[in-house]
Structure 1
């Protein structure tokens, strides 16, 4: 398959979002409404234009903040996009990509309705700023396969609604090789066949607009590599997604994998590094068998010694399998993390120990992947 992208909380407890037995209040519905189409076209003219070139390894961090907030809240108070200083930092560390979480509900306040003009403007502008620094942006609707607490396939939200969302977003960045479309963050608590239908519908909707951008397709159950082969009603991720279809033949599978005792990314130490690597080896073999590529959208740990050693092992393993893995983004930097133990955000200009471990992989001279 063709892979074409190029180089480029406040007071939050020790947690990693929606995990089993965890709760989240990060669901804010932005106010206002306007049609996206005309506005998007006008804004896109101002975006940076880049020709497609070699397949560059996408290596960087998640820049969290756009997905923060409660059920109500304003920009700059409940949620935030990366600052210029944070983007400068990412570029200065020779990262080539950032994964940018945001909320489906904020961009599209009503299912099948028009996009919110203010939120779309913010999203286009942060992409423009990142692209201008040579950073590929992976757009990440950080919703766990739900919309306003309504789980896809279990209530009023359907695969058609999900397809409508992507039919409006895809044209905004169509043809920009420095923008990658991540279909959905960590689908969970959803039937495997239901998620496969929605993923295929989203991918088809993107291609129907004429957009040929790289698309990242996640699996069910938190996108976990460790869950790829799990038995589910309707079939495992491995069984279902070997049949994914893309008319542009430009997609990769997105996996997440943590190293703590339950693979959740919510614990202070990383005792399961070897098990996590085995999970990556398993999906690597599956992708090699079927001729697919992969992207590791989330992994990370605290500054505990076993976590730092694990980050190094992850970087080394993924570099050794660069024919399959097109890159990765570690979890997570962002301006509002405060003392969150997994934060990768620099402290007064000083890099976190986790970033110091990852730097050699950012700066790897052999940058070709896939």
Structure 2
């Protein structure tokens, strides 16, 4: 056999790219406890994930994973209502923002990327943003205010909205475009902005719902699409609700569908929420899912597990480590299904990548000519402690309602999206297949060729 045919046959069996995932971490919930899928977020169930605020040790958890699991990304949910003290259209409440900024600072102080997550399901107290509920302008305004606060910190990511659902995806994409424009014009010109689709941002239906195609059309004010990343979620239980102990799918087929679309269209995504229980069915399937994601990091550039923070150990999908700060111990789901595939079995970063990462983490920004300052600076505002419940339980209402809304068939899609999908399905498809070619410069690929080349030459 000649070398070229042998090499071609071998390459056909390889994944498109296998490198270490760029953004890896865990969600640190607590402020969002009580948020329901219809956008109400009553304050009674909130448990601030900071000990200084009377809650759990989210700061210690983040330090633990940065130091012991090589993680670098944390998602920090916050209700829209909390930021504006329940006054739609108002400026951010100074005390509440300063409290949230304490959590942001705890995250940023680890050198990690910190993801703002407005946890309202594209709603405010039942009304869909831009679709009979709050005006687009109200939503753009809260994001513009946040963007101004963190405009000088490239480690802050903007997660536009947690899990939109049951809405007109065409109209939602228009809302997201306005938010992107508002964030960029507020001064946050280079940070990552995450674009969530409908059907709870499900990876399985991101293409079929029209979310991928419509959100991919969103651009920055200069016409570029730099930093605009699709935002995917997916659970493994019977109805994608994240409420059942048993896992019924490994999600590989769903992630392959969106992965193929991303590669063909030269786009990328972050899985900002996925999780499972410690049931044996989940250990198997969650590990399988994550192994697939870890081997397709050309298109899946980030992974955030759900969740830790203020979750107790009895929460069905808890990733909260046991023990105390400085002596935390991770559970089996974390060690086997997250740390193992994404860290221990992933290709090691090159010397250049390590140097760049270190330089980026050590950067400190100062005030610019417009008077904006580094968001890492602590605030002088008075801290008010949130009233909390007796135990770290999440909003069961959120997940139960989500379960009811989703039903056993996850594929309920918006008619308008389906109609437009059939009209111009391939609008954004680039026939150039260069994005699907193997990454010949990756360490894994280099090592592979070093091993197989002698055999191929001898054939």
How many residue pairs get aligned? The number is 308
Q: Do the aligned partners of 2:232 and 2:271 also contact (CA within 8 Å) in 1? A: yes
Distance 2:157 2:212 in 1: 23
Residue-by-residue CA offset, 1:272-319 (whole Å, 9 max, x unaligned): 11xx11111111111111111110011111111221122222222122
1:213–1:335 CA distance, 2 compared to 1 (3 A) = same
The residue that corresponds to 1:190 in the other structure is: 167
Distance 1:336 1:279 in 2: 28
Query: The residue matched to 1:298 in structure 2 has which SS?
Result: strand
Query: The residue matched to 2:24 in structure 1 has which SS?
Result: strand
* Match for residue 324 of structure 1 among 293, 299, 318: 299
* Match for residue 49 of structure 2 among 76, 81, 99: 81
Q: Do the aligned partners of 2:141 and 2:182 also contact (CA within 8 Å) in 1? A: yes
* Match for residue 238 of structure 1 among 212, 220, 242: 212
Larger RCO: 1 or 2 (CA < 8 Å, sep 6+): 2
Residue-by-residue CA offset, 1:250-291 (whole Å, 9 max, x unaligned): 111010111112222111111211xx1111111111111111
Distance 1:226 1:193 in 2: 19
**Residue 210 (structure 1) aligned with residue 187 (structure 2):** yes
The residue that corresponds to 1:355 in the other structure is: 334
- Displacement of 1:140 after TM fit? 0.5
Q: Do the aligned partners of 2:244 and 2:316 also contact (CA within 8 Å) in 1? A: no
1:266–1:218 CA distance, 2 compared to 1 (3 A) = same
Q: Do the aligned partners of 1:271 and 1:306 also contact (CA within 8 Å) in 2? A: yes
**Residue 95 (structure 1) aligned with residue 71 (structure 2):** yes
Unaligned runs of 5+ in 2: 1-19, 36-40, 51-56, 358-434, 436-459
**Residue 296 (structure 1) aligned with residue 305 (structure 2):** no
* Match for residue 178 of structure 1 among 155, 164, 187: 155
**Structure with more helix by fraction:** 2
Q: Do the aligned partners of 1:152 and 1:190 also contact (CA within 8 Å) in 2? A: no
Q: Do the aligned partners of 1:63 and 1:333 also contact (CA within 8 Å) in 2? A: yes
Q: Do the aligned partners of 2:207 and 2:261 also contact (CA within 8 Å) in 1? A: no
Distance 1:56 1:312 in 2: 15
**Residue 219 (structure 1) aligned with residue 170 (structure 2):** no
Distance 1:294 1:227 in 2: 14
**Residue 342 (structure 1) aligned with residue 317 (structure 2):** yes
Larger Rg, first or second structure (1 or 2): 2
- Displacement of 1:347 after TM fit? 2.3
The residue that corresponds to 1:47 in the other structure is: none
The residue that corresponds to 1:65 in the other structure is: 30
1:73–1:298 CA distance, 2 compared to 1 (3 A) = closer
Give the structure-2-normalised TM-score.
Answer: 0.63
- Displacement of 1:338 after TM fit? 4.3
1:99–1:362 CA distance, 2 compared to 1 (3 A) = farther
Unaligned runs of 5+ in 1: 1-54
